[in-house]
Structure 1
Amino acid sequence: MRTLLATVAAVLLLAPAAQAKTYGATTLALDPGAVSALTGLGVAPAPMPPATATSSGELTFPITNRPFKALLSGTIRHSGGISLTAGATTVKLENFWIDPLRRQLTAEVGGARVPILSLDFSKVRLGFGGGTLKLGPVAGNLTAVAASALDSAFGLRRGPIPPGLNLGDATPRYGLLWGRGDGPGAPAPAR
């Protein structure tokens, strides 16, 4: 019996850490005009893990709260984020929350939660198929607070990164039948 317990304990100690559960993912199709505006200012956007970039150039952010929890909290929560780098300065926008009632997307920036995008739901379509709830596209426009903060962070005069800049379209896809990172759009488990 002691040998069996020692073996089980060893297996548990040597097993890889459990992957954080995800419940689908939100994709962000970046607007070419926004990418051009940022790169023209020397600002390079990049996904922050566990967010990834797809072969088509979309960014994918894992959803971290269950659909029921999203209804209770009023937010769809994500892990990962986007880094914006210009020269030696990097601004990290992390752990996005989509808040449909306030029509905004917030992110953690330097330890504070800040409204980054105002959201436009006018073209949204709701779809369900294959155990996935799809809500999109949701247009995201840079808030005045975010635009001003980015201008300041990168030492730009006020206005080069304009408020209202269309960053792109987001599409949340909730995997209703999953919960271990194996839903559609979720990152592949580490091997």
Structure 2
Amino acid sequence: MRVFLGIIIGIVVGGLFFLFTMKFYQSQYSTVPDVVGLSGTEACERLKTSGLFCDKSSSETVVDTYPRAGSRVKKGRTVNLYYENPQKKIVPRLSQLNFPVAEEILKRLGWNYETVYFPFGTEKDRVLATYPKEGQIYNGKLILLIDTGEKESYFLVENFVGKKVDELKDDPRVLLLGTGDTVVAQYPPEGSIATKVILILGEE
């Protein structure tokens, strides 16, 4: 009888411990609400009620989020909001996203883009940067710098801006993009450690 009673007590205690653990776990996480179609201000308020934050508020309409609605995330996380704006196009925040996610966001927002793969060795298919940078108003084609996940030899980046294309066309450290005969921008900037440098060409 004592053995049977001990088993019953053990089951009850174990069940209560399991329920407590599950409740504690669930209290640490929240489900991303569906805020597509709301204004940025309304979306931020709804996220706040779920224990989450938005990256930026706006009066414009939300067309997408990352993480997506229905995702389970830790409370206190920042959710990126992507806005519809027919009058101007602002480069969205894509850095550190996986390329398939970034690609879907760009398609939803109607962006044209091209990809450049670099062996930075952090994580395969991770977006390292965009050109132009996030937050800038731009109506052209975006350039996405994507990590191949591999590693190569690194070097200290010098300043290439202002140099002529004839000086650089045989340099294995650089990748030339655009038209023109002069470097007008570069990524990463001078002083960085990199395996290659993207050089944007234009007219001086």
TM over 0.5: no
Scaled by the length of structure 2, the TM-score of the pair is 0.27
Q: Higher relative CO (CA 8 A, sep ≥ 6), structure 1 or 2?
A: 1
Would you tell me which structure has more strand in proportion to its own residues?
1
Would you tell me which structure has more helix in proportion to its own residues?
2
Scaled by the length of structure 1, the TM-score of the pair is 0.28
